[in-house]
């Protein structure tokens, strides 16, 4: 093997070792939601669920929220200009469930992205001491919210995110989700969350639990009007504002299918990653090139090896 090939092999090995180390440190740092205790009393929680064209999934998701054993629970579902039956499904559920409030957004104000505006609209209607921002296709297991709020209260946190279990039926989709999770661990640096002033932060669209006073103090979603990755940027905004933050492994209690299929998953990552790179082309291309190298180098070296 040539000197160049050996250098590339060493670089690829170092890259994968770093990814593995980040994943190991993250796994050790994350408590599992189902292992957390169930507190007897918790403050009032309002769940804000922005929904757009979620007719196939929204009823199951909302019912899983309404099934939570949580006194004073309030669910605010925001139908964001859906073109399918999402609004009708939510209205039918609300007619039989007083804990569910439905907000219908007919027009999007200038200077806003749809989901961000829906989150802001839902937060304005919510009355809870804690606000949970989630999506219209996330399914919650029994005790998920009670455990999460109790954990946040016990640690004195102002924001708690939960990494969901990604449902991925196909082989390629499962492989992609696994790779995405591995690289995200390094980006969030969750093992640094307990220490203020570090680079670690967390923000997850499926589960962003925020104390209302912290949310309002940083300006809420009005500060994120045009952010494509509003969930991650909300976590970053809270972290930079000095809000104590935590992340748990949602495990079996928080699950979602991120995208339906391998190709939509790749396209979804491209959109979110470019936004996460602050739309800096050079930075985005550099990260993409590094990811391609890590993925292709082992195979290329194996094919180039003699014999």
- In total, how many domains does the chain have? 1
Domain-located, residue 214: yes
Domain coverage including residue 127:
24-169+185-257
What does pLDDT average to in each consecutive run of 10 residues of the chain (307 residues)?
65 68 72 95 96 97 97 96 98 97 97 98 98 97 97 96 82 64 69 84 94 97 94 94 94 82 56 51 59 59 57
Q: Tokens 């609300």 map to which residue?
A: 94
- Specify the pLDDT at position 29: 73
> How many other C-beta atoms can be found within 10 angstroms of the C-beta atom of residue 289?
10
Domain-located, residue 71: yes
- Specify the pLDDT at position 146: 97
Domain-located, residue 273: no
Question: Are the beta carbons of 68 and 286 closer than 8 angstroms?
Answer: no
- Specify the pLDDT at position 110: 97
CATH of the domain at 130: 3.90.550.10
Domain-located, residue 284: no
Domain-located, residue 7: no
Domain-located, residue 68: yes
Domain-located, residue 305: no
Phi-psi region of 23 (alpha: psi -120 to 50; beta: other; left: phi over 0): alpha
Which CA distances in Å does 138 have to 59, 64, 84, 119, 162?
10, 9, 18, 15, 12
Domain-located, residue 54: yes
- Specify the pLDDT at position 275: 47
Burial of 9 per CB tally in 10 Å (0-12, 13-18, 19+) = middle
- Specify the pLDDT at position 119: 98
């Amino acid at each position: 093997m040539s000197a160049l090939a050996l250098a590339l092999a060493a670089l690829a090995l170092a890259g994968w070792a770093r990814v593995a180390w980040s994943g190991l440190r993250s796994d050790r740092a994350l408590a599992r939601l189902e292992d957390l205790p169930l507190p007897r009393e918790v403050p009032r929680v309002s769940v804000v669920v922005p929904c757009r064209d979620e007719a196939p999934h929204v009823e199951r998701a909302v019912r899983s929220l309404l099934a939570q054993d949580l006194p004073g629970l309030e669910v605010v579902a925001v139908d964001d200009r859906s073109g399918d039956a999402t609004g009708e499904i939510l209205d039918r559920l609300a007619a039989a469930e007083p804990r569910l409030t439905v907000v219908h957004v007919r027009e999007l104000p200038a200077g806003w992205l749809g989901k961000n505006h829906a989150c802001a609209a839902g937060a304005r209607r919510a009355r809870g001491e804690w606000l949970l921002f989630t999506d219209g296709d996330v399914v919650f297991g029994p005790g998920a919210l009670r455990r999460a709020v109790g954990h946040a209260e016990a640690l004195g946190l102002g924001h708690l995110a939960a990494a969901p279990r990604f449902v991925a039926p196909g082989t390629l989709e499962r492989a992609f989700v696994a790779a995405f999770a591995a690289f995200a661990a390094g980006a969030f640096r969750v093992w640094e969350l307990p220490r203020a002033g570090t680079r670690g932060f967390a923000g997850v669209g499926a589960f962003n639990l925020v104390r209302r006073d912290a949310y309002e103090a940083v300006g809420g979603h009005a500060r994120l009007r045009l952010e494509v990755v509003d969930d991650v940027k909300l976590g970053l905004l809270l972290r930079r504002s000095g809000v104590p933050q935590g992340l748990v492994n949602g495990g079996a209690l928080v699950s979602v299918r991120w995208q339906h299929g391998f190709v939509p998953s790749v396209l979804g990552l491209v959109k979110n990653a470019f936004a996460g790179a602050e739309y800096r082309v050079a930075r985005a291309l550099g990260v993409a090139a590094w990811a391609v190298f890590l993925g292709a180098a082992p195979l290329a070296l194996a094919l180039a090896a003699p014999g």
